Amino acid sequence: MGSSDFSEVYTALLAIAALLTIDSKVISAGMFRVFGCEFAELPFVATSRSNQGKGFFQVFLVCFERLLSNLKIKKLVIPTADDAIPMWTNKFGFKKIPLKMADHCRKKKSDLGLLDGIKQVEIIFGK
């Protein structure tokens, strides 16, 4: 095979959609990426306007967390704005990632969907 130069090879991460449907109608949806067994990132989530406030996103999140846990993924990370942190922590049980740890993660995984001013929350499975 000879010698090969892979110095310009980059890893592309595939974003995958997860959907909660009822009678073939999408109720809640999210785009996620998996970073090995270490964690999955869920940067985009939404529930249809007519179904907001009915608990469907909670169902979506429980099913999604169960799937990740069964795949032996250790935690779920969600990028979020400061004003949405209380929703993630109080309503869904996430913990705010300390700034030092978030910076380390950002450097280690430079392709995370993080913009300036965006914080991260996480939920760790099996605790």
Q: Per-residue pLDDT for 10 more than 80?
A: no
Q: Does a structural domain hold residue 78?
A: yes
Q: Does a structural domain hold residue 77?
A: yes
What is the predicted pLDDT for the residue at 81?
A: 87
What is the predicted pLDDT for the residue at 1?
A: 47
Q: Does a structural domain hold residue 9?
A: no
What is the predicted pLDDT for the residue at 18?
A: 92
H/E/C letters for each residue in 64-87?
HHHHHHHCCCCEEEEEECHHHHHH
What is the predicted pLDDT for the residue at 122?
A: 82
Phi, psi dihedral angles at 26 (to 5 degrees): -70, 125
| Cα–Cα dist 99/52, whole Å | 31
User: Could you report the per-residue pLDDT of 81-104, keeping only the tens digit for each?
Assistant: 889 999 999 999 999 887 666 555
DSSP 34-61: EETTTEEEEEEEEE-GGGTTTTHHHHHH
| Cα–Cα dist 106/112, whole Å | 7
Tell me which residue range forms the domain holding 77: 16-124
| Cα–Cα dist 88/19, whole Å | 19
Q: Does a structural domain hold residue 5?
A: no
Total number of domains constituting the chain: 1
Q: What pTM was estimated for this model as a whole?
A: 0.73
Q: Does a structural domain hold residue 6?
A: no
Instruction: Give 11 or 14, the one with higher predicted confidence.
Output: 14
User: Could you report the per-residue pLDDT of 12-65, keeping only the tens digit for each?
Assistant: 556 788 999 999 999 999 999 888 888 888 988 999 999 999 999 999 999 999
What is the predicted pLDDT for the residue at 114?
A: 52
Q: Does a structural domain hold residue 11?
A: no
Q: Does a structural domain hold residue 1?
A: no
Q: Does a structural domain hold residue 67?
A: yes
Long-range contacts, 88-93 (Cβ 8 Å, 24+): 88/121, 89/121, 92/58, 92/61, 92/123, 93/123
CATH classification of the domain holding 67:
3.40.630.30
